[in-house]
Structure 1
Amino acid sequence: MRLTTMTDYAMRLLMYVGQHPDRLCTISEIAAAYRISEPHLMKITHRLAQKGWIETLRGKNGGMRLGKPPEDICLGAVVRDTENDLALVECFTTGHSCTLGGQCALTAIIDGALQQFLQHLDRYTLADILPQSSQNDGKPPTHVIQLVNMN
């Protein structure tokens, strides 16, 4: 399983903004800190704001901040909101062309693995992955979320 770049960048954005609760953060500063393109980050910001994970303020002095406390931002929920397609195999999709139909036990096994993965992420919040100090001298968080890549 491999999470999309959108989810990766969404987590980075939330971590960055979570480290700066005392001020608004801008797309340009986050893009520079993580070397992410601003247009791509704008799309992610829009999605996170739609879902209520962040609040945005427009204008010259605008920016973004967390939409809820870090301890209320569930990592599993963020992944579900940012992944467009959690279908790990074709037979999870509508209108699939698998001829095995209900004869294949693999579908249930893979679905169980996906559910365990998401349930594991559900046990953690943004607060769990933020540095102990809410300030990090303006540097991006050094935490790395390691996820199993099943290719």
Structure 2
Amino acid sequence: MHLTSFTDYSLRTLIYLASLPQGELTNITHVTELFGVSRNHMVKVINRLGQLEYIETVRGKNGGIRLLKPAHEIKVGQVVRDIEPMTLVNCSSEFCHITPACRLKDKLNQAKLAFLAELDDCSIQSLISDNAELVTLLKL
């Protein structure tokens, strides 16, 4: 399975925000520079994470972004479900003439569910806990 760059940067942003001291604000410019992504793309990522209530955006001179939920409550599987288009193949009968007899779509769906179940066992907190190397890299 291939995740979109949007999902990738959403997860990276959540990991970074979780590595900050609780409640500390950072800004989009810093996150953009940290991950070397365009500001326009990061604004869309931050906006979506805010809509999904994973992060809080604070406006104004001293504003910024921070996690809204505790990192241990943010499950990677749910983030992927919320952001990633999860259609693996187009099984419409207009697109594929073997759809009525195809068994592949069921196997792909089972694989997708197993993939997401594995990610459901992982919280953002578990990705940063006892990971001094990651914290060091994110503080650069």
TM-score, normalised to structure 2's length?
0.89
Tell me, in whole angstroms, the C-alpha distance in 1 between the residues paired with 2:126 and 2:87: 27
Aligned residue among 97, 100, 124 for 2:98: 100
Q: 1:75 — aligned with what?
A: 76
**Which residue matches 1:118?**
116
- Structure (1/2) with the larger helix percentage: 2
Q: What CA distance in whole angstroms lies between the structure 2 residues aligned with 1:95 and 1:101?
A: 6
Whether contact under 8 Å (1:90, 1:96) holds in the other structure is no
Gaps of at least 5 residues in structure 1 are: 142-151
SS at match of 1:42: helix
After superposition, the Cα gap between the structure-2 partners of 1:95 and 1:68, relative to the gap in structure 1 and judged at 3 Å, is: farther
Moved over 6 A (4+): none
**More displaced 10-residue stretch of structure 1: 64-73 or 96-105:** 96-105
Indicate conservation of the 8 Å contact 2:54/2:69, yes or no: yes
The yes-or-no answer on 1:48 pairing with 2:49 is: yes
With normalisation by structure 1, the TM-score equals 0.83
Give the length in aligned residue pairs: 137
The aligned runs of 1:1-151 (5 Å cut-off) are 1-20=1-20, 21-83=22-84, 85-91=85-91, 96-132=94-130, 136=135, 139-140=137-138
CA contact (8 A) 2:93 2:100 kept: no
SS of structure 1 residue aligned to 2:135: coil
Cα RMSD for the two superposed structures: 2.0
